[in-house]
C-alpha cells in the first residue's frame, strides 16, 4: 500500500448496515438471522427498515407493509423505537469524534456520516486503511453494530467504495486509481442520478460510468442542462466537495399518516397537538427556537397542501407552536377535503436565548 503521506486528503464514509432492523436484532436474540421489517401496524404502514434476511425476499424500505408481507409471509414486523435509534446513533457519533474533530464530521443521517481524517493520516499516526478498520472495529465492539466503510480521497469515492462491500465491508480506493475504480460500475452508483436522468443517458448509449466519463460534454449539457457537466466530472472521479461538520438543523418536522382518511376538525387538531409536542421536544433537545411553523396535508389523491405562519421572534413553546399550526390549518380550509397525512414543520431555527421575550404569532 502507498505511504499515507501520498494521500492529498483522506475521507472515510461510514454507513451502518441495515441500521433500524440491526438495532432490534442486537437487542433481541430471538430476532437474529430472521427476516424482520421495522414498520407501524396501520393499514397504510410502510417499511422503515429491513434486515438483510428480509431483503433477500425483495423487501426494502419505503415499501408498503402489505406488499412486504406478500413477498415474505414469514416476515417479523417490529414497531419503530426512535429513542433506541437515536441513542445508538449518538454512541456511534461519539466514536467518530475520536478520529476527527467535530468540524470534520458530516452527519448525513442517523446511520451515515463522512469523516475527514486527512491530518491524522498525513501526520503518519495511522494509514488510511487502518483508520477505516479501527472505526469499524470500535463500532462493532462498543455499540454492537456493523458498518460498511469506504476510504478514498473524496466523499464521492468513499461513499461508492463502501457500497461495493456491503454489508460489514471495507473498501479502499488508492489515490490515482479513481477513474479505473469507477469505470466498470453502472451509472446508478453516482449520487443524485435519478431514474429520469438514467433513462436519458441510456438513450444516449451511456450505461456505465466509463461511458459517461468520455461522453461529449456539450451533448450531455444539451440533454441534461448544467447537471450534465457535473455528472461527467463525478464520473471522472473529480470531486472536491468538503466535509462540512457541525451544521445547525435547518428544519424540524414530524408527521402522521391516518389509517383512514380524516375530515373531522377535532381529529386533525388532536394530531396537530401531538405533533407540536414532538417537534417541541426536538427543539428543547437541540437548544433551538423556531420562527416559522408550517403544516403539510396529504390528500387521498396524494396531492400536498402546505401553509405556514411566521413570527418576528423565535419560540420553543409548545402551545404557541400548536396555535400557529391551527392557524395554518385554518388557511388550508381542510373541512371539505379528507386528509390522509398531516405534518408539522419548524424552520427559521436559532439557538435559544433565555432572555428572549415571548410574543404571539402574527
Using CA atoms, how far apart are residues 114 and 130, in angstroms rounded to an integer?
16
User: What is the per-residue pLDDT for 123?
Assistant: 62
Q: SS3 for 20?
A: helix
Length of the chain: 362
- What are the phi and psi torsion angles at 205 (to 5°)? 85, 20
User: What is the per-residue pLDDT for 40?
Assistant: 86
Residue 129 annotated as catalytic: no
User: What is the per-residue pLDDT for 357?
Assistant: 39
- What are the phi and psi torsion angles at 25 (to 5°)? -65, -35
Given the residues 106, 112, 129, 178, the one annotated as active site: 112
Q: Give the H or E element holding residue 271.
A: helix 265-286
Do the beta carbons of residue 228 and residue 193 sit within 8 Å?
no
Q: Three cell numbers at 133?
A: 478498520
Domains of the chain, CATH where assigned: 4-17+83-177 (3.30.70.270), 19-80 (3.40.1170.60), 179-235 (1.10.150.20), 252-351 (3.30.1490.100)
- What are the phi and psi torsion angles at 326 (to 5°)? -65, -35
Phi-psi region of 295 (alpha: psi -120 to 50; beta: other; left: phi over 0): beta
What number of other Cβ atoms are within 10 A of residue 81's Cβ? Answer: 14
Does the pTM surpass 0.85? The reply is: no
Do the beta carbons of residue 235 and residue 190 sit within 8 Å?
yes
Using CA atoms, how far apart are residues 22 and 2, in angstroms rounded to an integer?
35
From first to last of its 362 residues, the chain has per-residue pLDDT tens of: 444 457 889 999 999 999 999 999 999 999 999 999 999 887 778 899 999 999 999 999 989 999 999 999 999 999 999 889 989 999 999 999 999 988 899 988 889 999 999 987 766 668 999 999 999 999 999 999 999 999 999 999 999 999 999 999 999 999 999 999 999 999 999 987 888 899 999 999 999 999 999 999 999 999 988 888 999 999 999 988 999 886 666 788 998 888 788 888 888 999 999 899 889 888 887 778 999 999 999 988 888 899 999 988 899 999 999 999 999 998 887 667 899 999 999 999 887 654 433 333 33
DSSP H helical ranges for 100-246:
118-122, 128-143, 155-163, 178-182, 195-203, 209-214, 217-224, 226-235
Q: Three cell numbers at 118?
A: 486527512
User: What is the per-residue pLDDT for 353?
Assistant: 54
- The dihedral built from the CA positions of residue 32, 37, 43 and 45, taken in this order, carries a sign that is positive
Do the beta carbons of residue 290 and residue 248 sit within 8 Å?
no
Amino acid at each position: 500500500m502507498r505511504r499515507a503521506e501520498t494521500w492529498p486528503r483522506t475521507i472515510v464514509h461510514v454507513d451502518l448496515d441495515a441500521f433500524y432492523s440491526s438495532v432490534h436484532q442486537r437487542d433481541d436474540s430471538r430476532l437474529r438471522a430472521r427476516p424482520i421489517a421495522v414498520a407501524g401496524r396501520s393499514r397504510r404502514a410502510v417499511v422503515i427498515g429491513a434486515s438483510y434476511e428480509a431483503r433477500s425476499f425483495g423487501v426494502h424500505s419505503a415499501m408498503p407493509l402489505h406488499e412486504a408481507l406478500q413477498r415474505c409471509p414469514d416476515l417479523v414486523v417490529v414497531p419503530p423505537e426512535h429513542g433506541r435509534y437515536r441513542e445508538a446513533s449518538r454512541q456511534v457519533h461519539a466514536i467518530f469524534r475520536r478520529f476527527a474533530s467535530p468540524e470534520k464530521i458530516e452527519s448525513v443521517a442517523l446511520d451515515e456520516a463522512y469523516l475527514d481524517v486527512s491530518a491524522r493520516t498525513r501526520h503518519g499516526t495511522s494509514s488510511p486503511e487502518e483508520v477505516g478498520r479501527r472505526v469499524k472495529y470500535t463500532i462493532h465492539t462498543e455499540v454492537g453494530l456493523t458498518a460498511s466503510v469506504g476510504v478514498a480521497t473524496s466523499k464521492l469515492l468513499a461513499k461508492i467504495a463502501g457500497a461495493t462491500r456491503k454489508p460489514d465491508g471495507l473498501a479502499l480506493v488508492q489515490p490515482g486509481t479513481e477513474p479505473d475504480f469507477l469505470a466498470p460500475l453502472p451509472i446508478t452508483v453516482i449520487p443524485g442520478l435519478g431514474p429520469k436522468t438514467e433513462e436519458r443517458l441510456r438513450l444516449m448509449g451511456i450505461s456505465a460510468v466509463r461511458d459517461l466519463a468520455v461522453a461529449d460534454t456539450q451533448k450531455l449539457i444539451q440533454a441534461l442542462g448544467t447537471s450534465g457537466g457535473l455528472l461527467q466530472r463525478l464520473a471522472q472521479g473529480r470531486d472536491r466537495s468538503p466535509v462540512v461538520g457541525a451544521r445547525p438543523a435547518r428544519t424540524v418536522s414530524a408527521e402522521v399518516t391516518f389509517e383512514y382518511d380524516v375530515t373531522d376538525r377535532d381529529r386533525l387538531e388532536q394530531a396537530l397537538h401531538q405533533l407540536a409536542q414532538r417537534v417541541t421536544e426536538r427543539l428543547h433537545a437541540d437548544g433551538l427556537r423556531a420562527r416559522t411553523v408550517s403544516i403539510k396535508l396529504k390528500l387521498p389523491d396524494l396531492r400536498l397542501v402546505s401553509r405556514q405562519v411566521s413570527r418576528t421572534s423565535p419560540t420553543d413553546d409548545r402551545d404557541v407552536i400548536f396555535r400557529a399550526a391551527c392557524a395554518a390549518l385554518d388557511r388550508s380550509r381542510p373541512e371539505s377535503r379528507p386528509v390522509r397525512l398531516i405534518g408539522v414543520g419548524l424552520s427559521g431555527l436559532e439557538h435559544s436565548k433565555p432572555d428572549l421575550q415571548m410574543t404571539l404569532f402574527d
